[in-house]
Amino acid sequence: MIRHFTAKHGAAVNQGNIHELDGALVNMVVKDSQPFSIMDDCGFKELVALLDPRYTLPSRRVLKEMVVKRYEEEKTKAKAVM
C-alpha cells in the first residue's frame, strides 16, 4: 500500500492532499463522535502513518478549530436553505 502511494501519488504531500486528509479527519471525528483525544492515541497515529507517512496529524487544538469551522460552514448552508 505504501509503495502504491509513493508510486501513484508522489513522495511529497501537497496542500490539496493535506486539505483532503484534514477534511476526512474532521468527517471521521464528527460522524463517529470521536473525542479530540484520538489525536494522542498511539494506535491511531500508527494507522495514519501507515496509510500516508507524509501526512502530519494536526494537534487537538487545531482539530477542534477545524471542527468548529466546519460547523459554522454547515450552519450557514442550513440557514441559506431555510
Q: Residue 10 — very low, low, confident or very high, per pLDDT cuts 50/70/90?
A: low
19-72: pLDDT as tens digits = 999 999 999 999 999 999 999 999 999 999 999 999 999 999 999 999 999 999
**68/66 Cα distance (integer angstroms):** 5
**36/11 Cα distance (integer angstroms):** 29
Better-scored residue on pLDDT, 75 or 15: 75
Q: Residue 78 — very low, low, confident or very high, per pLDDT cuts 50/70/90?
A: very high
Sequence-ordered list of residues with C-beta below 8 angstroms from that of 34, at least 6 positions apart, any chain: 28
Number of C-beta neighbours around residue 76 at 10 A: 9
